[in-house]
Amino acid sequence: MLRSFSRGRVFLGLSIISLVSLFGCSPSADVAQVKTNNGQIQGHTEGRSIAFKGIPYAAAPINELRWRAPQPVSPWQGTLQADNFGHDCMQKPFEQDAAPLTTTPSEDCLYLNVWRPKKASDTPYPVVVWIHGGGFVNGGSSPNIYSGQYFGKNKTVFVSVNYRLGRFGFFAHPALSQSLPNEPLANYALMDQIAALKWVNENIAAFGGDPGQITIMGESAGGKSVNALLQSPAAEGLFERAVVMSGGGRALFPLRKLNESTDAMPSAEQIGLAFAERNGIEGSDSKALEALRALPADAIVDGLNLAAMQSPTYVGGPVLDGQIVTAATETNYQQSNFARVPVMIGTTNQDLGFPFARSKEALFAHFGENAENARQIYDPKGDLPLPKLAYEVSQDRMMQEPARFIAQQVAASGQPAWLYRFGYVAQAINKGQGAQHASEIPYFFSTVAEKYNPMTSEQDQQAGKMMHQYVVNFVKFGNPNGLGLPPWPAFDPVAPNRLTFTEEGIPQHGLDPLTPKLDLIQQALAN
């Protein structure tokens, strides 16, 4: 009657319908069952949605499956009780994380979650697939602010996905190349995301979702992932729309290659060899691979997280392998090697920036022949302190200009792009600092109360509802506009413009005041 799952999950051999027939009572309103390709799943009511949590979309990537492309899930008997999140992927949690995990990280982590509307519909619901951020070393699908219940409430199906992180997600070694010559290598995190999208395409109709209307959405490393999926041949045809939140897009640093190196950039395999040697593992044969796979999961993490991710034995993210990642994001956009789909893209108004110069002269030297023009625009009085100035230039280079650049490329391809800059800050914490990196997420999800309770104000709630509705409209129609919302025209390359979500929580559309700065950055990056 009962059997255990790999996570201690319980499967029920008798369905609810069978129990009803046995005991003569009607099923409760919070019961929902779905049959997937792998087996039966039972969800539960969460707000105005039905949630199905901890659904395996690939086999556990452990033992001989460590550093393998995701493998199929074995079918199960009985009914999977999908009432708890599966493990978030193995990592060292980051104490200051704005989206703290609610599970214990594990290497057995390839699970996804689905929220669907409680009300059935003859017309399938559009689908959005969420890819979390965290620098490719932290994060997961379990944080409360990532709840999909409000998407379900608004007649969409929401899916959130775990994917391998750190050295589990990006790793190469000659022993892997020799033992798996016909498999894609190194980019296991992106392979996981692609496997999850294939699962969604094959199974989401059972949840009432439309496999022909799938939007991928991600923030930070998740936004970088969306850029990669837009360009990967392996993801072709798996989605119809994309939302890129603070995902960069410019090749400010060289993309590491799988097995080719330069004096300045070791290959991913060389990095893997260094990691193996650090753990007392020599050579590149099957015994070396066996020893690597025998290392404890904590030894693979080796202290890596957002507070300490500059490790010489970590490749740092996506690797140029020629199959999953074919070129730098910037190059693929410039060469029109990306999916022709509508894109919603933007940043926060105080987004990430990592100062890269030790003097004003060095900072403005990056503008080349426009150095003096840049000085007059960024520091007209010459009195800005270097840290503040370097941050402003850096975040424009890392986030603001790349978002506009991608909007330009999408618009030039004949697809609509919707460019935004999010500047709202919750009233209880607003000290004039602007909207920091990742702070827009609870507004996109309408989980502001979950983030800021008991300090959430009515204005905060309204800001969340409005931004969330723009996102829902885009998921449904490929266009964020709708009744009750200020108009948001598509990006116009001739008159570059964007939607600003202001400090007052009022969306305003118009020309970008950063245009002179971003033009100079674009010219510098083009040279």
Q: Which residues are known catalytic residues?
A: 220
Report the distance separating Cα 407 and Cα 368, nearest Å: 25
- The backbone region for 496, taken as left when phi is positive above 0, alpha when psi lies in -120 to 50, beta otherwise, is beta
Report the distance separating Cα 450 and Cα 143, nearest Å: 10
Residues in contact with 327: Cβ distance below 8 Å, sequence separation at least 6, in sequence order: 231, 255, 320, 335, 337
For residues 476-495, one letter each, b for 16 or more C-beta atoms within 10 angstroms of the residue's C-beta and e for the rest, the string is bebbbeeeeeeebebbeeee
Report the distance separating Cα 246 and Cα 217, nearest Å: 11
CA 211 to chain centre: 20
Residues in contact with 132: Cβ distance below 8 Å, sequence separation at least 6, in sequence order: 99, 139, 140, 141, 143, 146, 160, 161, 218, 219, 221, 222
Q: Quick one: which of 326, 8, 15, 321 has its CA closest to 171?
A: 321
Cis peptide bond upstream of 454, omega within 30: yes
Report the distance separating Cα 288 and Cα 134, nearest Å: 30
Helices vs strands, H then E, count in the chain: 18, 17
Report the distance separating Cα 485 and Cα 319, nearest Å: 41
CB-based burial label for 510 (10 Å; 0-12, 13-18, 19+)? exposed
Does an H or E element contain 302, and which?
Answer: none
The tally of CA atoms less than 13 A away on the side-chain side of residue 265 is 14
Q: Which tokens in the block code for residue 18?
A: 């069978």
Give the type of residue at 311: S
Distances from the Cα of 455 to the Cα of 427, 429, 458, angstroms = 8, 9, 10
CA 495 to chain centre: 30
Cβ-based neighbour number of residue 26 at 10 Å: 7
Cβ-based neighbour number of residue 512 at 10 Å: 16
Q: What is the 3-state secondary structure (H, E, C) of 72-116?
A: CCCCCCCEEECECCCCCECCCCCCCCCCCCCCCCECCCCEEEEEE
